Amino acid sequence: MSSVMIILLVAAMAATAYVLVRGVIAMASGKDVTGEQQQAWMRKRVLFQAVAIVLVALILILASAPGG
């Protein structure tokens, strides 16, 4: 169970990094005058960060549980 959580955490961290890079590239391209595309990428980044934080909290809770 713990190894599955670690794999999910790594996937969430990788998704966060990917979305962050895509958002920075979208911002640097200057094609989106209104900024809607950059905002969409940054919202996705915040979502993936939240998932990663929840997974870290779950891993810590499971590790500190009796018998864990």
Q: Each residue of 50-68: pLDDT tens digit?
A: 999 999 999 999 888 887 5
Angle at alpha carbon of residue 5, lines to 15 and 44, rounded to 5°: 25
Q: Are 48 and 16 in contact (CB under 8 A)?
A: yes
**pLDDT mean over 9-23:** 93
| 0.85 exceeded by pTM | no
Which residues 6+ apart lie within 8 Å of 58 measured at CB? 5
